[in-house]
A and B are shown apart, each in its own frame.
Chain A
């Protein structure tokens, strides 16, 4: 009898210990620091801070741009001046002084490298620190890497191989020079410079980015990938990506980001435009791991991105997959305009916020064509004092017969100070539409942790397992190479227990 009692008290102690343990782990997770913070010292050419017509002319001149592009920039700037920064998002954004930012930073021009050996060793080091060895990538995974260091593309690989098929994959500035007609035809055709405050800003000052054109009937043989880094202190990065997939083509595009640790906030306002013609398919995957600021919320990147895909042709498909772990403030709604009949839009997202991070992210699915389908799966994970919101719109216009949408938004809460919010909008104007929305918010399941503990899996690993399982639906949609990195990122972001 006595022994039993002892066992009982021991059990209680053990349970208590487990509770203490799991709290410790949670604390560790939420206190882990950003691992990829480092600054590479490359001489950059920075123009003075401030934004006016002169600066725009200067950017354009520095990049040797044709007259029509300068016009486009100036029109965008004129429009931007009439706009005010939007405040509707569930975000607490400190005032941004747009005149205190330098709008152009380019690594100093050297003779173009002909092989990897000629690439600046420091730049290569940077990539190596990130675990992206160019050689390895070229040889092993067969990914063409268009590495954007600050604002100008430094190196583009596999160009020749792609050129054989007629695939154009180059930096935006090159595209402006080499394929002006294509760029002119499609630039701003999906995201107009009048679209919103940040789109106008980007259109006025965009520095560089990527341009992809897949010709008719071509299935791009490799995953196209761009690694972005924001590198010089005090510069905003305004890149612009334009992807055009012609009839019957297919491309999978990867975008991955890591940024060095900084004290002052950096503004990032990018635009991604995708245009899919008849029966074309574009898969766009993002892993975003910019510097989120320190534990007190100092520093970190402000990420205000406009991403939109236009399914112009019938039977076209655009799929967005994103893993968001970084940035102090994320404001991002990758959208699909389903204009072609039978077109398909997809959005898969995992957004993790920790410490004082804020994220307001989601998607828009605009059904215009007949028999259009869209799927939205959004998984939010909040820890620390962070705020994580899903905001999405599903609109079925009067002509979009037989539109179908399925939306699922789940939120997982890992601390009692964080917030998880959902703001879905549904505007349905067609009686044949079938639209479903489901959202749940809950904390990590204690039964599941207990079950794992029972079987000898420590709480730390258990939380990792559960979170990875929770996000699996989205992770599965990432290309192989990315899935590994994304999983690592999840672990790093929620390090200690939750990964």
Chain B
């Protein structure tokens, strides 16, 4: 309760400051969010969905907030560059929650709006208001309520009907600074009928302070639209992250979400996907490589509201040292939602006695003409495969590494951007080799 109170106090004291540095559309939801936060508090382990990770503890430390929207760096390029070779993306850099556009609006096709949420809320208030906060309700999850109450900025993408955005959009979120800091970001994506877009979001931490990143994503995928969302986290042990992604898919839409956690401290990812129109297809993939005291907790809830939809879920964890992995996947097929196909798989490798995995796949089915399955395994590397490789002269450590890399490949193979796929393969391999995942030219890597 103490953790919540400090935020409520802060909100009450600085309400004018927050409102003044934000947009009316965002401010409109704050009162309800604060009320909700007061009622439900921040989730702790007493809630079934948060059984193994006490999220309220993430929020307990006293973090600094950049409520007055002070530009923290003059030239963001100096801070960090996360280069994916040959990706050719349109880049937006977030330092904390300050958005720096590294590309021009003219790079995007006609009608596309891609800019900071703050800007969009001022220039297109009606458009933003129509979608903002309509999926991410603050009355169920205290972290969403807190984010809604505090959020001042984020990223907004609007792709009008029939428009295809070829170039991926890359969002690089950087936590930096000498002081403990908390960033509240929003992502609002609206893909209209028949449109297509891809977003790659990378989280990085480049200083040693304690950071908390609170992210709420709302994604609307229109009829027959296609949207890819890649989410890569490479932070530090002192970083806590709570990211909730809410998606609504209309008829015939196609969604791909791929969440990859390579370095982190405490991470809680929530995915809420609603299949609202028939023939929609949803693919949700996730992967985590964790060691030391890393904690990776993925929660997913796929709600089949319309018939003849397909959902496919695959999560893989490789846990070493004292790491903890949590997977909780819930699939709900509502009454009368026939011809549903829902597949969920969770596979885990535990390398030490101290590494823990908690997995809880759930199926709730209220319709009969469905094909639903889930599978979960926990195990070790195949001894026969190890022996085979060693008998051919590959040292054991190398053989192990190769098998672990191979284990994660099928998640990365789902990526629909070739250059990103290649880059991820390399990144993961380097992660396993223990060489810090150095990118082409960032500050820490140099």
Chain A: residues with CB nearer than 8 A to chain B? 88, 90, 396, 398, 411, 413-443
Contacts and interface: CB of A to CB of B under 8 A. Distances in A.
A413 B377 contact: no
B359 interface: yes
A172 to B, nearest CB: 36
Contacts of A420: 363, 365
Contacts of B5: none
Instruction: State the majority secondary structure of interface residues on B.
Output: strand
Given A422-B362, A426-B360, A427-B358, A439 B379 contact: no
Nearest to B368: A413
Given A425-B358, A431-B353, A442-B370, A419 B378 contact: no
B358 A437 contact: no
Q: Which 6 A-B pairs have the closest CB atoms?
A: A413-B368, A441-B372, A435-B378, A437-B376, A440-B373, A443-B368
B357 A426 contact: yes
Nearest to A414: B368
B365 A88 contact: no
A427 B356 contact: yes
A431 B371 contact: no
Nearest to A439: B374
B370 A443 contact: yes
A442 to B, nearest CB: 5
A121 B419 CA distance: 84
Contacts of B350: 428, 430-431, 433
B377 A440 contact: no
Interface in B348-404: 348, 350-380
A146 to B, nearest CB: 40
Contacts of A425: 358-360
Nearest to B355: A431
Count chain B CB atoms within 10 A of each CB in A425, A427, A441 and give the residue with the most: A441
Contacts, number: 118
B53 to A, nearest CB: 13
Interface string B142-179: 00000000000000000000000000000000000000
Interface in B312-353: 335-336, 338, 348, 350-353
A422 B370 contact: no
Contacts of B365: 411, 413, 419-421, 441
Contact of B375 (A427, A437, A442): A437
B378 A422 contact: no
A430 B371 CA distance: 33
Contacts of A431: 350-353, 355, 380
B362 A433 contact: no
Nearest to A405: B378
Interface in B212-234: none
Contacts of B353: 398, 429-432
Contacts of B78: none
A396 B377 CA distance: 13
Contacts of B370: 413, 441-443
A217 to B, nearest CB: 37
B352 to A, nearest CB: 5
Interface of B: 48, 335-336, 338, 348, 350-380
A433 B366 contact: no
Contacts of A435: 376-379
Contacts of B366: 417-419
Contacts of A90: 364
Contact of A434 (B48, B368, B372, B380): B380
Given A431-B355, A440-B372, A419 B380 contact: no
A413 B369 CA distance: 8
Nearest to B330: A423
A460 to B, nearest CB: 18
B362 A423 contact: yes
Instruction: State the majority secondary structure of interface residues on A.
Output: strand
Contacts of A440: 371-373
Nearest to B336: A416
B48 A416 contact: no
B378 A423 contact: no
26 contacts: A398-B353, A413-B365, A413-B370, A415-B368, A416-B335, A416-B338, A418-B368, A419-B366, A422-B362, A422-B374, A424-B361, A424-B362, A425-B358, A426-B357, A426-B358, A426-B376, A427-B357, A429-B356, A430-B350, A432-B353, A434-B378, A434-B380, A438-B374, A439-B361, A440-B372, A441-B370
A323 B48 CA distance: 29
Contacts of B335: 416-417, 419
A425 B49 CA distance: 12
Nearest to A416: B368
Given A413-B368, A416-B336, A441-B363, A428 B378 contact: yes
Given A417-B366, A429-B353, 17 more contacts: A413-B367, A416-B367, A420-B363, A421-B364, A422-B362, A423-B360, A424-B376, A426-B358, A426-B378, A428-B348, A428-B357, A434-B380, A436-B375, A437-B361, A439-B361, A441-B363, A441-B370
B368 A421 contact: no
Contacts of B359: 425-426, 428, 437
B360 A424 contact: yes
B339 to A, nearest CB: 11
A442 B371 contact: yes
Contacts of B358: 425-428
A90 B363 CA distance: 12
A413 B337 CA distance: 13
A440 B351 CA distance: 29
Contacts of B362: 421-424
B380 A439 contact: no
A416 B333 CA distance: 11
A438 B375 contact: yes
A422 B377 contact: no
Nearest to B52: A427
Contacts of A419: 335, 364-366
B171 to A, nearest CB: 34
A436 B358 CA distance: 13
A82 B336 CA distance: 42
Count chain B CB atoms within 10 A of each CB in A421, A431, A436, A438 and give the residue with the most: A431
A498 B358 CA distance: 38
Given A419-B366, A431-B352, A434-B380, A442 B372 contact: yes
A245 B352 CA distance: 36
Nearest to B352: A431
A434 B373 contact: no
Contacts of B377: 434-437
A429 B364 CA distance: 27
A441 B371 CA distance: 6
Contacts of A414: 368
Nearest to A403: B378
B338 to A, nearest CB: 7
A88 B375 CA distance: 23
A439 B356 contact: no
Nearest to A399: B353
B41 to A, nearest CB: 20
A374 to B, nearest CB: 13
A435 B352 CA distance: 15
B357 A439 contact: no
B374 A433 contact: no
Contacts of A423: 360, 362
Contacts of B367: 413, 416
Contacts of B376: 424, 426, 435-437
Nearest to A407: B376
